[in-house]
DNA sequence: TGAGGTTGAGAGAGCGCTCTCTTGCAAGTT
DNA sequence: AACTTGCAAGAGAGCGCTCTCTCAACCTCA
C-alpha cells in the first residue's frame, strides 16, 4: 500500500529489451509493431525478453516519434452533462470504450465548458488528439465546424442542421412509424402522441414517423401534445390530451420516461393499459420495465451506437473511406402495454 | 468540412515561438510554465509570439521530457458498467472531469475487462498513467492492490474490506440515521426499512444507521426486508413488509429507486403517503422528484464526490499529504413523503 | 576599482520511441 | 570468380519538449 513510489525503478524501455535479447532497438520495435520482416527465431527471443522485463511501450514516446496522437476525445458539452440523468451517456461511453479497447487509441473525456469554449478547441486543435466524438443534446452545434476542418469528428445523433458532419443515429422516423403501426395493427383507431421538443432531431423525427403511419392508414393525426422528454412533462402532456375529451385508444410516446409520466395520469384516472389505451414508448430504457404493465417500446441500441461511432472515427483517422451517416437498426420490444 | 487533413500544416512548436520572439527555446518553455525568473518584457514578447502562432504545447513531448505521465485514468469494471442505469456513473465522471479541467492532467477512461484483467493492469503499470480512479460496485476489489503499490489510486466508496486504500465516500451510516430520526421526530413509531444488499458497503451502512436511530429511541427494529437497489426489488420488499401484517407508519428505503418500487405497492393497496406511512429515501436521484408525492430523501452529492476523488488523486500524485478517507457531507432534502 | 554575488538567458543533452537509410550477408547470375 | 539482387538487422537522426549547466551582465560593498 505504499502510495509513495517516488523511488520506484523506471519502466523498462525498448533499449533494455534490446540489450537483453542481444539485438538492436530497431528490431525490438519491429517485433512490437508486428512488422513481418523479422526472422522468427529472433522475434521469439525478443518476445521472451519483453516478457522477462515486463515491457510496455511508452505511449508518449511513441506518439512523439510517430508524429501522431494516439488518443481520441469524447466531448460532452457542459449543458448536456447536466441533463444526463438517463443512461444514454453511460452507454455511449461504454460502447466507445469497448471498441477502443481493441485499438491502439486511448479514450479521453472532456466536459466542454460553455464559458470558455476556446479551451476545448485549443486542446483539440493542439495536435494532441487524433479525433473526437461529440455527445450533445444540441448535436451538430455549428461551433464544432471549425474543429472538424482539422481533425475527424463523429457526432451522436443527426444534427438539427445537416452540415456534412459524420454521425451515427438510429432511424427515429422509421422506428416511430413502426411503433405506431403496431398500434394500428392492434385495431386502435384513435392514436395520440406525446411528442418530444421540436428543436431536437429525435423530437422531430419521432413525431413524423407517427404521422406517417397514421396517414398511411387514413387515421386522424390531430392528437398531439408536446413534452421535453422528462417524466413530469409526459404526465402534463397526458393530462392535456385527456382534457380534450376526444376518443383515445392508442398512444405513442416519444420516450419511455415521458411514457412513465403518462402512466401515472392514466392510472389516476382509472384508464386501463392496454385495455382502454395501448401505449408504445421509445428507447427501451430502465423505465420500460419499471412500470406496470411493462412498456412495449422501441429498443434504442445505445451501446452499439457508441461502438459504431468509435469505429467510424478510427476509420476516419486512418483514412479509410467511410459513409457519412450511419443508421443503427432498432427493434420493437413487445411487452404488455401494447401488442 | 474536409475531414481529410493529411496535408495540414504541423502544429507550431516551442522552437517556432522562440524564433519569432527572438529568444531561446528554454525561455519560451519558462514562460509557458510560469517560471518566475523571466524578465517581464521578454515574457510579454514571448506571450505575444505564442498567441501569434497559436501555440499549444505538445503533451506527448512534455510527458516524455519531464519523465512523467500527464493523464489520469478512470476505471470502470465491465460488470459495473453494465449496471449503470443510474446517474451515478455520469455524475462521478462529470465531477472528475470538472476538477481535472483546471489541472494539467487529462482524463482517460477504461472499461476493465474482467476477461483479461492483465490488459488493464499492464496499461496502468506501463508508466503511461499518473494515477487512477476506480468506480466499482465491488469497491476495494483486492485485484487492485498490486496496482496501487505502484501508482496512486482513489476509490469511489468505502471498500468492503478496508485495506488501506484511499477513498471518498459519504457517511452512509450517519445520513441514514439522520433520515430515520426525521421519521421519529415526525411521531412515527413503527418504522420499517427496505435495505440494500449486505455485500455492498452502502447496503450495510445504511441499515446500520437506521438501526442506530431506532435503538437510540428504544423503538422496534425488526421490520427489515432486503432489496438489490432496483425498483422491482423495492416493490417486492414492500410487499413482504406489508404481508407481515404488523403496524407500520414510517419507512426508510436505502435508495430512491427502491423507494419508487415501494410507492407502487403502497399506491396499489391504497396506503397514503405520508398520512399512513411516511417515506424517506436515499440518493436524491431523478426518482425522488418523479414520484408522487415527491420523496423526502438524503442528498448524495455525487458530482462533489467525483471532484474530491480527482483532487485527492492529484494531491497524491504530487506528493502532498492527504487523508486516506474523505467523507463528503450529505443533507436531508425534505419534500412531501415525510417531514 | 575589482572581488564576489546574484540574476536571467542560452546551450545542449537527453526522454523512449519511429523510421529512413545503410550495411552485411547469402543466394542467384553470367 | 566477380558480379548483381534481395532481404533482414543495425545505425542514427530526429520528434517537441524539460532541465541542468554554463555563462554573460549587472550589483554590491570594501
pLDDT, tens digit, for every residue of A167-223? 999 999 999 999 999 999 999 999 999 999 998 899 999 999 999 999 999 999 999
Q: How far apart are CA A314 and CA A68, in angstroms?
A: 13
The grid coordinates listed for B298 are 438524503
Identify the three-state secondary structure at position A303.
helix
Is residue B176 a contact partner of residue B298, using CB atoms and an 8 Å limit? yes
Q: Tell whether A255 lies on the interface with B, counting CB pairs under 8 A.
A: no
Does the nearest atom of strand D lie within 7 Å of B39's Cβ?
Answer: no
Between CA B280 and CA B297 the distance in angstroms is: 5
Contact in structure between B157 and B167 (CB atoms under 8 Å):
yes
Q: Which residue is nearest to nucleotide D19 (CA to C1')?
A: B66
Mean pLDDT taken over chain B: 90
Q: What is the CATH number of domain B172-300?
A: 3.40.50.2300
Any atom of strand D under 7 A from CB of A64? yes
Least confident window among A246-260, B77-91, B201-215, B220-234: B77-91
pLDDT (mean) for B44-53:
94
Chain B neighbors of A292, CB-CB under 8 A: 264
List the single range of A330-339, B56-65, B153-162, B303-312 with lowest mean pLDDT: B153-162
Whether the CB of B150 is below 8 Å from some CB of chain A: the reply is yes
pLDDT of residue B4: 39
Give the pLDDT confidence score for residue B81 in this predicted structure.
Answer: 60
Cell numbers at B271, concatenated: 396506503
Please tell me the distance from the alpha carbon of residue B112 to that of residue A178, in angstroms, as a whole number: 37
B14-57: CATH architecture: Orthogonal Bundle (1.10)
Pair type for strands A250-253 and A296-299: unpaired
Q: What integer pLDDT is reported at residue B122 of this predicted model?
A: 87
A68 has pLDDT over 80: yes
- Range 64-93, chain B: CB under 7 Å to any strand D atom: 64-66
User: pLDDT per residue over B170-227, tens digit each?
Assistant: 999 999 999 999 999 999 999 999 999 998 899 999 999 999 999 999 999 999 999 9
Cell 476506480 found at? B134
* Cis amide leading into B158 (omega within 30): no
> How far is Cα A221 from Cα A214, in angstroms, rounded to an integer?
6
* The nucleotide closest to A64 (CA, C1' atoms): D15
| Bridge partners for B125 per DSSP | none
CA–CA gap between residue A255 and residue A278 (Å, rounded): 15
For the residues B105-120, what does the mean pLDDT come to?
88
Q: Taking CB atoms and an 8 Å cutoff, what residues of chain B touch A111?
A: 94, 97-98, 101
CATH top-level class of A71-169+303-328: alpha beta
Question: Is B117's Cβ below 8 Å from some Cβ in A?
Answer: no
pLDDT of res. B86: 57
**Distance, CA of B148 to chain centre:** 19
Give the CATH architecture of domain A172-301.
Answer: 3-Layer(aba) Sandwich (3.40)
pLDDT of the residue at B3: 39
Candidates 3.90.110.10, 3.40.50.2300, 3.40.50.1000, 3.40.50.11540; correct CATH number of B71-170+303-329?
Answer: 3.40.50.2300
Q: Which of A8, A60, A81 lies at the smallest CB-CB distance from B64?
A: A60
Which of B59, B94, B153 is the closest to A111 by Cβ? B94
Spell out the domain ranges in chain B. 14-57, 71-170+303-329, 172-300
A1 confidence band (pLDDT: 50, 70, 90): very low
Amino acid at each position: 500500500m505504499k502510495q509513495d513510489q517516488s523511488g520506484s525503478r523506471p519502466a523498462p524501455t525498448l533499449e533494455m529489451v534490446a540489450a537483453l535479447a542481444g539485438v538492436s532497438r530497431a528490431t525490438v520495435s519491429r517485433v512490437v509493431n508486428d512488422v513481418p520482416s523479422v526472422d522468427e527465431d529472433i522475434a521469439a527471443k525478443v518476445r521472451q525478453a519483453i516478457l522477462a522485463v515486463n515491457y510496455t511501450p511508452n505511449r508518449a514516446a511513441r506518439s512523439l516519434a510517430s508524429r501522431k496522437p494516439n488518443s481520441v476525445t469524447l466531448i460532452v458539452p457542459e449543458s448536456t452533462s447536466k441533463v444526463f440523468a438517463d443512461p444514454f451517456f453511460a452507454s455511449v461511453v461504454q460502447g466507445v470504450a469497448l471498441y477502443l479497447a481493441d485499438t491502439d487509441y486511448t479514450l479521453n473525456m472532456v466536459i466542454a465548458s460553455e464559458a470558455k469554449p476556446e479551451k476545448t478547441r485549443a486542446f483539440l486543435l493542439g495536435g494532441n488528439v487524433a479525433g473526437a466524438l461529440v455527445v450533445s443534446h444540441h448535436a451538430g452545434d455549428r461551433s464544432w465546424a471549425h474543429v472538424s476542418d482539422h481533425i475527424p469528428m463523429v457526432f451522436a445523433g443527426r444534427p438539427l442542421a445537416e452540415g456534412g458532419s459524420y454521425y451515427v443515429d438510429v432511424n427515429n422516423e422509421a422506428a416511430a412509424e413502426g411503433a405506431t403501426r403496431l398500434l394500428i395493427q392492434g385495431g386502435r383507431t384513435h392514436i395520440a402522441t406525446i411528442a418530444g421538443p421540436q428543436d431536437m432531431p429525435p423530437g422531430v423525427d419521432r413525431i413524423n414517423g407517427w404521422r406517417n403511419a397514421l396517414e398511411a392508414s387514413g387515421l386522424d393525426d390531430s392528437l398531439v401534445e408536446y413534452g421535453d422528454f422528462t417524466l413530469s412533462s409526459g404526465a402534463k402532456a397526458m393530462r392535456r390530451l385527456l382534457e380534450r375529451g376526444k376518443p383515445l385508444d392508442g398512444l405513442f410516446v416519444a420516450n419511455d420516461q415521458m411514457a412513465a409520466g403518462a402512466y401515472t395520469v392514466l392510472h389516476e384516472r382509472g384508464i386501463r393499459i392496454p385495455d382502454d389505451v395501448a401505449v408504445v414508448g421509445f428507447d427501451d430504457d430502465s423505465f420500460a420495465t419499471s412500470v406496470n404493465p411493462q412498456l412495449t417500446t422501441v429498443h434504442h441500441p445505445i451501446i452499439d451506437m457508441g461502438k459504431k461511432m468509435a469505429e467510424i472515427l478510427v476509420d476516419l483517422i486512418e483514412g479509410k473511406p467511410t459513409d457519412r451517416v450511419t443508421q443503427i437498426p432498432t427493434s420493437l420490444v413487445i411487452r404488455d402495454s401494447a401488442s
